[in-house]
Every structure is written in C-alpha cells, then in structure tokens.
Structure 1
Amino acid sequence: MTETKDPAAGIVVREGDYGDRIAAVEPGGAGFIPLDQRHGRPRALFWTWTSPNLEFATVFLGVLAVAAFGLTFWQAAAAIVVGTALGSVTHGVLSARGPRYGVPEMVLGRVPFGYRGNLLPSTLNSVAGGVGWFAVNSVSGSLALNTLTGLPKPLCLAIVVALQAGVAFFGHNLVHAYERYAFPVLAVVFAVASAIILAKADFGAPAPAGAGPGGIGGFLVVVGATFGYAAGWNPYAADYTRYLPPDTDRKATGLSAALGVFTGCVVLEVVGAASATLGGKALADPTGAFTGHLPSVVANLTLLVIAIGAVGANAINIYSGSMSFVATGIRLPLPVGLQRALVAVAFGAVGLVVAYFGLDDAGHDYEAFLLVIAYWIGPWLGVVLTDMALRRRTPVPDERMEAMTFDTGHRSWAGPAAMALGVVLSVWLFSNQEKYVGVVPDRWPSFGDITFAVGFVIAAAAYTALRRAPGFRPNG
C-alpha cells in the first residue's frame, strides 16, 4: 500500500480501508484522511482526554505543588486551576481544527513553520512525547505494578511498556477504544480513593518547612508546571479529531477535548496536593505514600488503575510521537503503510531504556521534566496561535491551506526563527531549574518560573514581525 498525491489539490491522501475497525493496524502515515473513512462523535473526546490523565503522574504533580514547591493546599489548588485552564483552552482550540483539515497536528504546523522549518517542532515533539512523556508515565505505571505484585521493577516496566506499545502499534481506533473502556474503571476507583484522601486531608496545614520557594514564586512555578502538563497534549490535538467528519461542530469538538483534559488533570492534581498534607515519604516513595493513606483493598485497586492509566497515557504519547516523526518528512526504508506503526514500536524500545534509568529517582526527574516540557511548547503555541489569528483576518481557501501542508516548497522561516528566539530568550531570562537559574529569578526569586509565558509572548511578537520581513515571509 502507498500514499498518493492528488495532483489537483497537491494533498497526500492516506490510502487503505480502515474506517472504524479496532482490531486492525491503521494504514498509512500522516496523510489526509479520506472523507469515506471519517467517523466518530465529538463527545467521545471527553473520555479520550480524561482517561490518560487519570494516572499517578497527574496525582504526583499535585503532590509536588505542596511537598516540593512549598505551597499550602489552597495555594496549590488555585495554581493548578489556573495552569490547567490555560493548557486546556489551547488544547480545545487546536482540537477543533482536526475535522476541517483531516491531518495530524504536526502536519498542520507546516503552515506557520514551512515544510522544512516544521522539522524543529516535529522533532521536539517526537522526543518529548515518544520518549520523554513515555518514560515518565512508564515509570509511574511500573512502580505501581511493582508495589501491587512485588515483581521486580524491570519486569514490571517491561510489562507496562509492552502493553503501551501494542496499543499504539494498532493506532488511532484502538487508542480511542482503550480510553473509552478504561474510563469507567479509572473514574470509579479514583473517585473512591479521592473521597478517602479528601476526607482525611488537613486543608489548613501550613506549607512544609524548607519544601521549596513557596509564596508567589512557588505559585508561578506550579502554574508553569501544570500548564506544561496540560499543554503537553496540545501538539497531539488534531491527531485525535482528524477522523471526525468535516462538518462536525467545531465548538463541540473543542469543548469536549478541553473539558477532558481539564477535568482529569484538576481533580487528581488537587487530590495529590491534599494527600501531601497527610505527611509520609511523598517524594521518596510517591506511589507508596499515596496508597498508604488508603484501606488495603482500595489501595490495591488504586495501584491497579495507576498501571491501567499509565498505559492509556502512553498509548497516546507513543502514537502521537510516532505521528510527529512521520510528519518530519524523514523517509525510512519501510513500507509506507507500516511506517507509523513500526516507528511506534521503536519509540517504545527507546522509552523503555530511558524509563529504566529513571526508576530510582522518579520524583526528582519528573519535577525537572514538567517545567522543561513547557519551555518549548509555550513558544510553539505562540507561533501557531498567532498564525491562526492573523489568517482569520485574511483567510485563504481551505483547499490552499490543505495544499500548503504537503507542499515541499512551502516556506515560512518566520515560524522556526520566532520559536527558537522565544525558547532561547525565555530560558536565558526566566528558567528556574536546579541546573540553570535564569537572570531574573536568580536576582528576584519571587518571579518563580514564568518561562513558558515569556516564551509564548516573545515568539508571538517575533512571528508577527518576521512574517513580513524579506527572507522570512511565508510564500503561502
């Protein structure tokens, strides 16, 4: 099977009969989804995006807000809502475009970045999703399975990775189906566990002594971290809506996707913050500390759904990571019909190795990763959303937009230049990591870490200016 190009429109069309079949390997790579293959309803996006967030990595972010960043419960809850809301809104906006254009998110990124310039965000997303997020969630799932069964950690990790890679190998329909059927199981068990934790929590407890920056600095760090967690799904948005019929209601599509991310993240992050008020080894043994506050039966069920949730999260991470790799335009000596599926397996293998070395210091590694992930997504969003806003003023026909996504001659160096400028300047000025503290927080710690926001603004302003400059101006 091959993908063909419609000479009239210049669009690469994905061939093969797939439809709504679940037990079938999704054919093709990052091509346009033919109209006769479209299916699904917007409401399904709610559980597609709630389920992958019903896992322990989400809980642990709330734990970090109190135990590592030095906030009280109520300060943490407020920061969680603000950061998650920002990342959820942008996720809804990007998801709404999928049915109209019928291509993955990173293929749509070729419009503001150009065909070649899009290599920058696509490569970053391949590594961040297919390897980085994959490793983070694999560690949380394997630690839960280890605590539940007593099996060696490496064996638990291998089991979790094999399940994740298997779902991603089959592709789009199986990913959606897994999230749909996992949702009620995850929701019920986490609801019971959450009720118990919230009933025991000390909501008036002061911030832990020596736990981190605290105050406005800690608040801004948590806003950045929770934004990074929610917005970490943004580069995947259209991947899961591109199969919907083109006349699907855009508001319903965006709202369902945004609410899914917001609900799953906020609920479990707030519960994680509440659990940190109960004491215990929240950072040294995060999974054990959380389930240690639960009755044994509920604790065991919670450990089980933590593993199930990790599979759901990473099925999405590895599927979209492989989709982003295909969107780079790099051609591998593989059949086009299986290229995405085999790349998913390859990412699983690499993620397995990375996760293995993170088993013994999961909390520390996760804390750093959450902030770093937002460093590139903020500037990327600045370019993408600014381009969308500018094109609303001077719209072009959908046919031209679709053609630009596959035109190898389409150039827009304003996109990669603005994104790179946003990343470099914002990190230099505002990064607040253990290994590097930017100029501003080094002198004024109360600034916390607002790198993602500064990067967004710089990239948006730079793109607006550069897209009119000779040599940077888009040719479409």
Structure 2
Amino acid sequence: MAKIEGAGPETVERPVPPELQTMSADRIFWSHFSPNLAPAAWVIGVLVVSLGLGGWSAFVVLLIGNVLGALPVAACAVMGPDTGLPQMEASRFSFGSRGKRLPALINWVNCIGWDAVNNVPSAIALILLVQTWGMTLPFWLAMAILALAQLLASAAGHDTVQTIEKYLGWILLAAFAFSGWMAVTHRPDGTPMVAARPAPDGAHILLALGAVSSFTLAWTAYASDYTRYVSRRTGRGKVFALTFGGIFSSAMLMELFGLLTGAMISSPSPESVILALQSWMGPLAPVALAAIALSSIAINAANDNTAAYALISAGSRLPRPLSAVLTAGLAYVLAVMGEGRFTTLYENALLMALYWIAPWCGIVLTDWYARPPALKARRMVTPPGWSPSAILFVAVTVATIILFSSTPLYISPVARLLQGADIGYFVGFAMAATGQYLLLRQQARKYRLTGIKVTQA
C-alpha cells in the first residue's frame, strides 16, 4: 500500500531519517525510465533527422548525447541516500541557505511550463482516442482529466508517484514498443527509414548533440528527489547504475524510433508524431493514442511532486500537497489559455530557461565530488545567506545565455559564428565547474592558513 508523504515544509527541509529510508532500489530505475516514454523523446530523434543527420552519424550523436546527458543525472541521484534531501534542497550545501532559493524558484517555474507543454500532446491524443469511439471531448476537459490524475498522485507524495512510475512504465514500454515496431515497419512508398547522407557539417552535429543531451540533462534537477528514500546502505554504484540505466535506455529507445521514422514525419513536433502514428497504425491506432495520453501522467506526476519540493526550497511555507496542486492548476490554466496559439512560445521560452541547468549542475557536482580533503568533512554543512557559489551561478548563467545560447527566441554572437550551433550547455557546465573548483581551493587554503579545525555540523 502506498505511503502518504508528510505535508509540512519539514518534509523537504529535513533529511529523511534512516528508519524511513526503506524504498526498494528498483524504484530508482522506474522513476528515471518511465517519464521519457513520451512523444517528446520521439521528437528528438525526428529533429536529428531534420538537421540533416542520418545513418551511423545520427546514431552516434544519439548515443553520445544521451551518455553526456544521463551521466550528471546519475551523479546527482547518488546524493539522495546520503543527504536524505530533494535535489533543490540539497543544493543549499553549495549555494547557501538563501542562495538555494533562486535555482529552486527557477525550477518551480520551469516545472509549471513543462507541465503545460507535456500535457498538450497527451490531451490531443486523448481527444483523438475518444473520437475513435464516436465521441467528442473538448480540449479543456481533456486537459482537466490529465491534470487531475497528475495532481492526485503528486499530492500523495513520492511513494505514490514512484509506484505509478513502476507499473505505468511497464504499460508504456509495451505500448510504445509495439507502436514503434509498427511505425518502423510501415513503408508504404519504399521510403528508407534512415537514408545514408553525406557527412554533416560541424554546426549541425553540435545542434543535434545539444538537443539530445539537454533533453536528459534537464532531469538533474529531479534526481535525488527519487533516491532519497533508499537506504544509505545501498551501494552508490548501484544507485548510479539504476539511474543511468533508466534515463539512458528510455531516451535512447524513443529517440531511435524518431530517428528511424524521421524521414516520413512532416516536422519535429509532438503533433506530427501523433498524427503519423495514428495514420500508420490504422485500426490499432488506439494503442499508440492511449500510450501518449497516459505518458503525461508518468511525466507530470513526478514533475508536480518535484515542483512542490522546489517551491518549498524557494522559501514558500505552503504545505507540500497544496504546492503540488498549485503547480498543476497554474499549468492547466497556462495550457488552456494557450490552446493553438502559445505552445511554441512556451517551448521556446523553456528551452531558453534550460540554460540555468548546466551551471547549476556543474557547481553542485563539483562541490560534492571534488572537495579538497580539508573541506570534505563540511560537505553537508549549509553556508549562511548567499554563498560565493550562488553568485558564480548567476554570473555564469547570464554569460552563457548572452554569449553562447542558440534558440528560436535569441541567437548569441558565438552561435552566429558557429552557424547556429549551440555550445551553451557545455560551456556553462565547464565554466561553473571550474569556478566552483577554484572557490573550493581558495576556501581550503583559508582553513589551512587560519588553522580552523573542520568538523561535521
């Protein structure tokens, strides 16, 4: 029976006590596997084809991009059992008691946006599914059905969410595997699935690599949310492997379907994927439509739960279930108001917002894994106020967006020189990680010079 998670802010702000760290380790895999079984991942594969990549070059880009994106997620997930904290709250060790609030607030806003964007294709699929039964369903009602299911799960807490991820994951895997097989074998005009192409130029390879890696990298802000209830006796290697395996395998599977069908899909958008699957599968189309409709529950149940954690870490004193309801409600309003008009704008704005993830991740991982010996005992001590790392985060994020970003809303000077290639994520991570390492070295020298004895707080 699912356990109801605590409702107060202390559920987020205090570590999970060891006696409550009883979650089965297999939940780690499903929590990072199921949310990627969605049309958004299929679209990434189609996008790679639309950028001119094909054959082995496209496959290698998917492989490298998913490895680069999944590695930081797995490295963050390892922090969960040791800290007992959600991911945004755990960043207080790097950013300080007040400095953690900014990335947490950004993450909450992102969760609202992604909630809306994830629900739109699922609502479309649900409407089309109902039409196959001879009925009609208005968009606002389809959205409401999905939002209600998601907020009920997220309000109950992590255990309900992770139970849903496990069992819904099996259903989604079977449905998408069947739909993918039907799509890949559907070649009415002899169109090759992935035609061999001339070697693509470096700009398009970088564009594709950035799109693939950023898709999985975004899950770093969620990682320890779904590992903190695992026993601290669970091997760190096991936590890492289950997280990496879950997120890499699901993203790779769905993106491969996109890659193999990209030449036959009109544009890299969820709507195009849905309509193509409906056409190709004929009388079996309800299988794909049902999977797409259900997929948003797997994504957004976790999304709303993480958003609730993030809002509390940002300084809110709202109870956790109410925070989840607030997130789902705002996302519902956003999606319904933007029906047919603003979805593309939301997606573009969210792509721009992702530029905070790489610097945040570089700082958090460097702080956790690369501390000098003199500072290792203080790895889980929260600095007061805004730490230098919080200032570094702001500086690198702003510089990355201005100098390196490449989105439909803004193309930076460096991206223009690289013919639109986006290296912002890679540069942001490297700059922030290097800056954090230098800050740690400086802090270690200070401790050695002043003779301060370092103890665990």
| TM-score using structure 2 length | 0.87
Distance 2:331 2:293 in 1: 16
CA deviation profile, 1:260-312 (whole Å, cap 9, x unmatched): 00011111012112222114465494243331353234321111011111111
**Higher normalized helix content (fraction of residues):** 2
Distance 1:285 1:112 in 2: 41
Distance 1:147 1:215 in 2: 39
Alignment match of 1:83 (pick from 52, 62, 65): 65
Distance 1:185 1:102 in 2: 30
Give the match's secondary structure for 1:292: helix
Q: Which residue of 2 aligns with 1:47?
A: 30
Distance 1:215 1:289 in 2: 31
CA deviation profile, 1:427-453 (whole Å, cap 9, x unmatched): 2221112221111122331x6001111
Structure 2: tracts of 5 or more residues without a match: 132-136, 448-453
- The answer as to whether partners of 2:151 and 2:301 remain within 8 angstroms in 1 is yes
Equivalent residue letter for 1:351: A
Q: Does 1:115 align with 2:97?
A: yes
Q: Which moved more, 1:278-287 or 1:425-434?
A: 278-287
Cα 1:204–1:243 change in 2 (3 A) is: closer
Q: Does 1:459 align with 2:440?
A: no
Equivalent residue letter for 1:142: A
Cα shift at 1:80: 2.1
- The answer as to whether partners of 2:183 and 2:277 remain within 8 angstroms in 1 is no
Q: Which residue of 1 aligns with 2:114?
A: 133
Distance 2:293 2:374 in 1: 48
Cα 1:180–1:285 change in 2 (3 A) is: closer
- The answer as to whether partners of 1:51 and 1:179 remain within 8 angstroms in 2 is yes
Distance 2:228 2:291 in 1: 29
Q: Does 1:345 align with 2:333?
A: no
Equivalent residue letter for 1:320: T
- The answer as to whether partners of 2:77 and 2:243 remain within 8 angstroms in 1 is yes
Q: Which residue of 2 aligns with 1:238?
A: 224
Equivalent residue letter for 2:422: D
Alignment match of 1:179 (pick from 165, 168, 171): 165
Give the match's secondary structure for 1:267: helix
Equivalent residue letter for 1:424: V
Distance 2:307 2:300 in 1: 10
CA deviation profile, 1:405-438 (whole Å, cap 9, x unmatched): 4xxx625522112111221222222111222111
Q: Does 1:145 align with 2:119?
A: no
- The answer as to whether partners of 1:426 and 1:451 remain within 8 angstroms in 2 is yes
Q: Which moved more, 1:97-106 or 1:38-47?
A: 38-47
Cα 1:82–1:293 change in 2 (3 A) is: farther
For 1:17-32, list aligned pairs within 5 A: 21-22=1-2, 24-28=4-8, 29-30=11-12, 31-32=14-15
Distance 1:425 1:242 in 2: 33
Give the match's secondary structure for 2:410: coil
- The answer as to whether partners of 2:186 and 2:280 remain within 8 angstroms in 1 is no
CA deviation profile, 1:42-81 (whole Å, cap 9, x unmatched): 22211221111111121122222223x3433544332222
Q: Which residue of 1 aligns with 2:413?
A: 439
Distance 2:276 2:59 in 1: 18
- The answer as to whether partners of 1:74 and 1:203 remain within 8 angstroms in 2 is no
Equivalent residue letter for 1:62: G
State the aligned residue count. 434
- The answer as to whether partners of 2:183 and 2:281 remain within 8 angstroms in 1 is no
Distance 1:39 1:85 in 2: 29
Cα 1:401–1:215 change in 2 (3 A) is: same
Distance 2:401 2:59 in 1: 26
Equivalent residue letter for 2:127: N
Give the match's secondary structure for 2:409: coil
Cα 1:285–1:242 change in 2 (3 A) is: closer
Equivalent residue letter for 2:193: F
Give the match's secondary structure for 1:41: coil
CA deviation profile, 1:64-103 (whole Å, cap 9, x unmatched): 2223x34335443322222221121111111112112211
Alignment match of 1:320 (pick from 288, 302, 306): 306
CA deviation profile, 1:204-238 (whole Å, cap 9, x unmatched): 43779xxxxx6322221222122221111111111
Q: Which residue of 2 aligns with 1:418?
A: 392
Q: Does 1:448 align with 2:413?
A: no
Q: Does 1:299 align with 2:282?
A: no
Q: Which residue of 2 aligns with 1:379?
A: 359
Give the match's secondary structure for 2:370: helix
Q: Does 1:219 align with 2:205?
A: yes
For 1:153-232, list aligned pairs within 5 A: 153-200=139-186, 202-205=192-195, 215-232=201-218
Q: Which residue of 2 aligns with 1:9?
A: none
Cα shift at 1:367: 5.6
Distance 2:74 2:231 in 1: 17
Cα shift at 1:27: 3.5
For 1:280-291, list aligned pairs within 5 A: 280=266, 283=269, 285-291=271-277
- The answer as to whether partners of 1:73 and 1:203 remain within 8 angstroms in 2 is no
Alignment match of 1:102 (pick from 75, 81, 84): 84
- The answer as to whether partners of 1:375 and 1:452 remain within 8 angstroms in 2 is yes
Cα 1:73–1:114 change in 2 (3 A) is: same
Equivalent residue letter for 2:20: Q
- The answer as to whether partners of 2:308 and 2:320 remain within 8 angstroms in 1 is yes
Distance 1:22 1:297 in 2: 37
Distance 1:306 1:238 in 2: 26
Distance 1:187 1:323 in 2: 28
- The answer as to whether partners of 2:203 and 2:418 remain within 8 angstroms in 1 is no
Q: Which moved more, 1:39-48 or 1:358-367?
A: 358-367
- The answer as to whether partners of 1:138 and 1:160 remain within 8 angstroms in 2 is yes
Percentage identity across paired residues of the two chains: 29
Distance 1:284 1:254 in 2: 31
Give the match's secondary structure for 1:116: coil
Cα shift at 1:191: 0.9
Cα 1:163–1:455 change in 2 (3 A) is: same
Distance 1:321 1:392 in 2: 33
